[in-house]
Amino acid sequence: MEIKILGPGCTRCHQLKQATREAVNELGIDAEIEEVRNIKEITNYPILTTPGLVIDEKLVCSGQIPTKAEITAFITTALTEDSNEIS
């Protein structure tokens, strides 16, 4: 699983990255968490405000810091969608 944090590297971006890392660790999944700070790369996604959370190239949240429970739900949904595509 590939997870991206979109934003300039501000405090809110770091908070989102930390919460995401905690959710990934609690789920015990293998995921790469990448920070995307380049504005040209960020504008490749349908995002108006940062930070943004992208899971497997799908923007799932932007402009806010979701709770760890919300992040866990986003990841779980993405995992379910991935397994449905394989079946």
* Residue range 41-77, pLDDT digits in tens: 999 999 999 999 999 999 999 999 999 999 999 999 9
- Domains: count for the chain: 1
- Among 3, 5, 6, 13, the one annotated catalytic: 13
Active site annotation includes 61: no
pLDDT of residue 86: 58
Residue 35 near residue 26 (C-beta atoms within 8 A): no
pTM of the model: 0.92
* Residue range 8-46, pLDDT digits in tens: 999 999 999 999 999 999 999 999 999 999 999 999 999
Q: Could you list the residue range(s) of the whole structural domain that residue 52 is in? A: 2-86
AA identity, residue 59: L
CB atoms within 10 A of CB 35: 16
Active site annotation includes 13: yes
Q: Read off the CATH number of the domain in which 41 is found.
A: 3.40.30.10
